Structure 1
Amino acid sequence: MKDVCLKCGNKLDSDRVCTNCGLKIDIYEKIQNASKLLYNQGLQKAKLRDLSGAIDILKRSLKLDKNNIDARNLLGLIYFELGEVVSALQQWVISKHMKETDNIAVGYIERIHHNQHKLDTLNTAVKKYNQAILYIQQQSEDLAIIQLKKVISLNPNFVKAYCLLALCYIHQNSHSKAKRYLLKVLSIDKNNYVALKYYESITIDEEDADEALHHRPDKKKQEVAYSRPTAKKENRMSTSIMQIAYVIFGVVIGLAVAIFLINPGQVKGKTKEIDDLKKLIASSETEYEEQVGTLTNENGQLKKDVDEKTALIASLQEKDVFYDAVDYLQKATAYYLGNDLLASANELIQINTNDLTSTATKELYQKLVSETYPKVAVKGYNEGYKLYSTGKRTRNNSYFEEALVQLQAAHRFGSHSDIDDKVMYFIARSYGYLGENQQAIDYYNKMLTNYPDSKYKKDAQFFLNQLQSN
């Protein structure tokens, strides 16, 4: 049994009470054990993908013992799995502050900080998520949906973004799309409260609709009738009036002819009634034409509003694509100035030149490509060839795997350069040594097709025949 205080490190008296802070060590140990028990429960829930439940339990564990490093590190991992990187880092930084040695949280933090590109991507996802919230507050759901789709492409496990996207689709009555994103959330966190509530609300609405359709058809028809626009009702009503008026007119004419034949003296007395009916029909026709004209004008204005909205969305999408391209270009420039040519090339290769609409950005892009791509390709080939040669000499497959990383980079940034044929040749050779024959065959064929005059042609054809004959 320990004879020092777990809180302040001073000695305990005979009753196991700290002589400095007065802590009763037995009670403190019980609290620690309860915290550890909750940690184990949280761990079991995390293994079962009940991440929301695990978070609740781990928070209770930390309330009992804030120094429970295992609980804090696991809480950070769960936040990271849910795409909430900031919350994850917060837990790991606190954990590192409490224990700087033999703490797995230190490795988590370093792994994120050393992958600057990944960190920038996650940061961009958070910014776009916040922008989507702003669009929703401005009642621009279409723009919010565009932003949220980009968020989940940058951070595929960002649960809050999936839920918000599903909510937008629910508001637009696109329940099938909302369901797809809610099911994605539940595959990450099977008991996510928000996703379950949204899914339940959609399911209840659909069940109510089905029940109304199959069991209460009269009521359904009545509801549908009430839901029609007022303008359409008036339109149909006017049409009915016209039809009735024409029928009456026909009947009246028929009667007039009969009266004329039977009793010509009565014709004059009926003439005024016929004139009155004609006036009534003419008035109904005028009212009908006025209503048609009003509806036509309203429809034209509505179409104009839709076209303007569509044009605005397209314009904003173009701007957003341009800003993304400029963002990659700025990062590439920063890496280039820092003499990190590979990182600069990796940023440049993500840019679609059609997205760079200004002359200045296009010129900067072309300059950076010409300064980085050839150098990165040559460096990748030189380092890859050395690793390939070492692997061939030592028969150690790890060298071939490392060689492929460098050679693939050389091929990616040196496509159609004067070294591309030998780059593809040694990629194929490396795959061959690793036993990945189909990959090797593909690269041999690609090299022979693109560079039929290469000096490696005979060797490539020889090894290709060998692989195809096996």
Structure 2
Amino acid sequence: MECYRCGATLGRESFCPSCGTDVKVYKKIMQTSNAYYNQALSRAGVRDLSGAVESLKKSLRFNKKNIQARNLLGLVYFEMGETVSALSEWVISKNFKPENNIAGEYLDEIQKNRARLESINQTIKKYNQALLYCHQDSRDMAIIQLKKVLSMNPKMVQGHQLLGLLYLEEGNYEQAAKALEKAHAIDTNNTTTLRYMKELDDRAKESGTTLKDKNKKTVSYQSGNDTIIRPVSNFKESSSGSTVLNIAIGLIVGVLITCFLVVPGVRQSAKSNAKNEVLQANDSLSSKNQEIKTLQAKVDELNGKISDEQNSADSADGKVATYQQLLTAYAAYRDGNKTAAGDALGNVNAEYLDDESKKIYDAVNSEVNSEYLASTYQDAYQKYSSLNYAEAAAGFQKIIDMDENYHDGYALYYLAQSYRKNNDIDNARTYYQKVVELYPNTERSSRAQKYLDEFGTAEADTANPDDAADENTRDTTTGDTGNTDIPGIE
């Protein structure tokens, strides 16, 4: 047994000798899973397949990566004729342990045998058709289909059970008993089979039928104090005249059968063979297409399970990252580094926080936001003035992500300017449009509209002489300039 945290081999102690993790509960879970697996082995050994399935499902509930239990579950399903369920378990096992896994050999053995795959597919189709006939109350057709199914897959417990139930409903108790005995021989403790057998005995008693007497080969009777047992004789004595008559009738019937049945049958043999070959070819093509669809559906289902597991793991990683960023922000806030605290808070996903952590996040965020925005704005504007437009755009973008209307729209305007001067016309157009919509009748709006008009005819020239005027021109609506200690703020 290995430690679930570090993978080290565990001994009898309750703590991992390598990482010191408490593994007492973990070892108990693994031991319980193995105990149910051992119980399933014992049940499978005496052909209690239903009990083995129940024990194996409990084993996998405690440890879904118990490869031996999952492989054995697939084998039990396969023995019961439930091939699709068996393939599902082996595929999951192969995904958990790709190397040195006997499930791979089971899958290869089935996939290489195309005839077996086709037989499996035909079995499923015919069994489903039999169920449909049952729903339509066409018992005769259902019995015919089930006989075909069981000729292709004699171990299909559900097929024997359904056939026995149909015979039971038809009142054919002898055939019902044979079908249920076959199901019982495959899975000795299947509760459905046992329930049907009890119902069969009850109905046979009600109708006065003794099932054991139907196959009776001897007759017993009392003669004084002695019991005489003799074989049942189905022959009756007949006269020589009746014997001759029966022979003559037999000869006449034989001649008539030869003339009217055998000869036309031979003539039609070639046509029948040709039609059968065409039908077989069509059935083969249909079965292969259905097989592909069935297997693809199982693959999609298993891929979905794997994707769900991966999403669960990604969500856990996101929570860890969020709490790390919150701790970083709190440490920076405590040290007075508001900029670093603001950067860390920007990476926090509040959806992952519990109630207590959310309170800490809100408290730090409210204290840091105003100073962080002002500091970030000052730094971004200095980058802009130094013609470092890429870093300026990144700084202004942080501000806009937090407050789109910061500093009466100047952050939005300078973000558009930075994108334009960095030749990112698409982003520049987006934010110029926001300036026009949010701040009409301002000089910023007029300049933004001018650039939008230029974008409509040709790409703006980053060396336009008007650019130099942008930084030092006063907005007539606010009186702001770009040369104050905090750019754009009076």
TM range (shorter): 0.3 to 0.5
The alignment's TM-score, normalised by the length of structure 1, stands at 0.43
User: What TM-score do you get using the length of structure 2 for normalisation?
Assistant: 0.42
Return the index of the structure with the highest Cα Rg: 2
Greater helix fraction, Structure 1 or Structure 2: 1
